[in-house]
Amino acid sequence: MNILFWNVGKKNLESEIATIMTSTHTDILVLAEYENASSNLLRILQQRGIIEYSALSTIGCNRIKVFTNSEMKYFRPVEDADRYSIIEFHKPGNLCLLMAMVHLSSKLFWKEDDQRIEVSFFRSDIERIEKSEGHSNTIIFGDFNMNPFDPGMISAEAMHSLSCLNTAKSVHRTIKGRQHSFFYNPSWNLLGDRDGVAGTYFYKDSNYISYHWNLLDQVILRPSIADRFDKQSFRIVTEAGGINLLNANNRPALSDHLPIFFSINLINEESYEKLMA
């Protein structure tokens, strides 16, 4: 399953989105700050002869729009709030997956502590849902508006997401008698400029400490399903289908964010063996 997330910054980028999602063979496209009707993008795709995508309904979360080439019947809305949408994907022969897609509050308006507290509400929502669904096959992705090293991503009361899968596989740690479960955050691998850009969002402020490049768009997932995550596939998209998403200064050109792309294998072993036989 190929997934692309992009905060399009309220820009009309249907043509570019259509090119990028088709050239990357995206199965699930998630957009934040896409303010046009979903039919606009579907129309562009149809004009290009691509008819297999449809728009999923995120009932209560208008910040997130979801498009997919999988059948709608495999998706079930689980819970929405203003800043996130949680859906279940369950296709026969595949792992049942809880997908939480986020566009959390911005650093421009919220202090770090506020972000940490707010995301702790979200974490407890996730855990409540995992308990009621009876599994924790959970992946969370989108615009967290935090870097992987920010307290809201690291703190045990917040997302508690670690850079090391081995460590995260210990599932939880106990602090003063209370257990705090881990997430694994492969997004740490995208920090720095070894593979091109050093983040997904560029912001230079006038303070002494300014990261300039920030990795606000991330993926985190429960360690129990992390082995299904294709780390090699996970990247910040700077070019796709002949479209360059960077300007001459190597900064985001189309939206203020760059998209992220990743693959996750959801096929269950028995189904995979049958498929390969």
Partner 1 sequence: MKNLWPEKFEENSNPSAKSILEEQTELLPKITNGIVDAEVVNSDDIIENIENDFSYRFNLIGRFIKNYRFKVLSFFHDITLYPVYFNLDEEIATELGYKDNNIKIQTPESLEEFLRTVLQSERVKKVIGSIIKLSK
Residues found near partner 1 in the complex (CB under 8 A): 57, 59-60, 62, 76-83, 113, 117, 120-121, 124-125, 157
Give phi and psi for 144, each to the nearest 5. -80, -15
Amino acid at 102: V
Minimum CB separation of residue 57 from partner 1 in Å reads 6
Amino acid at 277: A
Minimum CB separation of residue 59 from partner 1 in Å reads 5
Contact by Cβ (8 Å): 74, 90: yes
Minimum CB separation of residue 40 from partner 1 in Å reads 20
For partner 1, give the closer residue by CB, 14 or 125.
125
For partner 1, give the closer residue by CB, 23 or 57.
57
Minimum CB separation of residue 142 from partner 1 in Å reads 16
* Residues, the chain: 277
Contact by Cβ (8 Å): 43, 179: no
Beta bridge partners of 218: 142
Please give the DSSP secondary-structure letter assigned to residue 70.
Answer: S
For partner 1, give the closer residue by CB, 24 or 85.
85
Please give the DSSP secondary-structure letter assigned to residue 270.
Answer: H
User: How far apart, in whole angstroms, are the C-alpha atoms of residue 73 and residue 120?
Assistant: 31
User: How far apart, in whole angstroms, are the C-alpha atoms of residue 162 and residue 183?
Assistant: 6
Minimum CB separation of residue 238 from partner 1 in Å reads 31
- Token pair recorded at residue 177: 């008698």
Minimum CB separation of residue 118 from partner 1 in Å reads 9
- Token pair recorded at residue 71: 């059948």
Minimum CB separation of residue 246 from partner 1 in Å reads 32
User: How far apart, in whole angstroms, are the C-alpha atoms of residue 31 and residue 34?
Assistant: 6
Distances in whole angstroms, Cα of residue 248 to Cα of each of 66, 139, 244, 245: 31, 34, 10, 10
Amino acid at 111: K
